[in-house]
Amino acid sequence: MKIIKNPSQETWEEVLKRPTQTIDDIEATVNEIFAEVKSKGDQAIAKYTSLFDGISLANMEVSTEEMQQAQKEISTELKEAIQLAKDNITKFHAAQKTDRVEVETQNGVKCWQEKRPIQKVGLYIPGGSAPLFSTILMLAVPAQLAGCQEIVLCTPPDKNGKINPAILYTAHLCGVTKIFKVGGIQAIAGLTFGTKTIPQVYKIFGPGNQFVTVAKQLATRFNVAIDMPAGPSELLVFADSTANASFVASDLLSQAEHGADSQVILVTTSEEILKEVEKEVQQQIQDLPRLKIAEQAIENSKLILVESEETALNLINEYAPEHFIVVVQNEDFFVSGIQNAGSVFIGNYTPESAGDYASGTNHTLPTNAYAKQYSGVNLDSFQKSMTFQKINETGIQTIGKAIELMAEAEGLQAHKNAVSLRLKSVAS
């Protein structure tokens, strides 16, 4: 990890730079695959599955038999762990439900807002080196709670054309309606346009690599919404002398093992903690099965020493981390002062892994500084707010004159007439 001491604010942009490719590097490939899937459908999906995943499939949809087999392959202990996580995620997201909001803005003018589910949603679940079945919990549970009618899941197959049984088990548990063995750009294109096999959806959710991120952004050009631009995982920890260096290092490595393009950062006011964490990272990384991936991510990562907590908070808000862990004596200063972060973890005994799996909060979060303007996935992500209004005779008399004056001032005579005719009718 690169050590940076007291960087001036003028250098923060360079210091906090993420190890991501520009969209220009990827967009040509994404455009080509999208165009082919749009014109050739399943044929193009099969072509790119063979090219990228090394497997030709007779049927890309997961069968009932495969689902049943997956149930048998999961241990009782893992099933219980998944159920515990599901219960907590359900509890937290169910608490986000809101009642109808109703207001009489003027006598006779009643306005209200109600939530409606997005009818068709697509979930993208990475399944390459790490089969992220936990992401199904994070997406399918709130989709079910919201009342989505179709929950379509795409995930890449392995070299034998199979899906990890934990993915299939969790998808079945959470009410996913269809599962397809399709990954990468072609999966996002299939959900965007629909094919003979894959249904078209209205909104696409889920993390992925930079190709998937750009594909999701391209999907928005074709009237499909996305949860957020979510790319390679990232974590920033602020720790002072009260932090446990071993814990901090383990948290940094927990995100570093996600992928070679992940980034982790420690910000601290304590040079001693900086040195201890650096030493712990070097020791702990040697025991990781995903050593090579973690080592590449660590090369992109930084240990930053700053002079004050105020400087640290400003720097963290500028970086806008996906995950922010704060282990510090002056806890309230950071908790109240953080403006830009996807999810915040507080104290020595709150690892980021808890949010990834079982505490109840959602782990699908904005990366690449999008935490400045995006929220993480929540119940509202799967719903739309619709407004309603009903005006009676008294109401149109109360606000009618104001509408006429405003419409006339904007030069929109038909708008004015729509009110004037009603006012005459009430007066007669």
* Ordered structural domains, the chain, with CATH: 2-20+232-360 (3.40.50.1980), 23-229 (3.40.50.1980), 392-427 (no CATH)
Q: State residue 230's pLDDT score.
A: 74
Q: What is the mean pLDDT of residues 205-221?
A: 92
User: Which whole-number Å values give the CA distances from 118 to 150, 174, 221, 354, 386, in the listed order?
Assistant: 9, 17, 18, 29, 12
Per residue in 66-124, pLDDT tens?
999 999 999 999 999 999 999 999 999 999 999 999 999 999 999 999 999 999 999 99
Asked if residue 300 has pLDDT above 90, the reply is no
Instruction: Report residue 21's pLDDT band, with 50, 70 and 90 as the boundaries.
Output: low
Contact partners, residue 117, CB within 8 Å, separation at least 6: 146, 147, 148, 149, 382, 383, 384
Q: State residue 22's pLDDT score.
A: 65
Catalytic site residue from 322, 331, 404, 408: 322
Q: State residue 407's pLDDT score.
A: 98
Asked if residue 25 has pLDDT above 80, the reply is no
Instruction: Report residue 229's pLDDT band, with 50, 70 and 90 as the boundaries.
Output: confident
Give the β-pairing of 2-5 and 263-268. Answer: unpaired
Q: State residue 131's pLDDT score.
A: 87
Contact partners, residue 373, CB within 8 Å, separation at least 6: 366
Catalytic site residue from 257, 258, 309, 323: 323
Per residue in 156-188, pLDDT tens?
999 999 999 999 999 999 999 999 999 999 999
Q: State residue 130's pLDDT score.
A: 76
Which 8-state DSSP code applies to residue 61? B
Which residue do the tokens 């009676």 mark?
392
Cα separation, 16 vs 303, whole angstroms? 11
Active site residue 322: yes
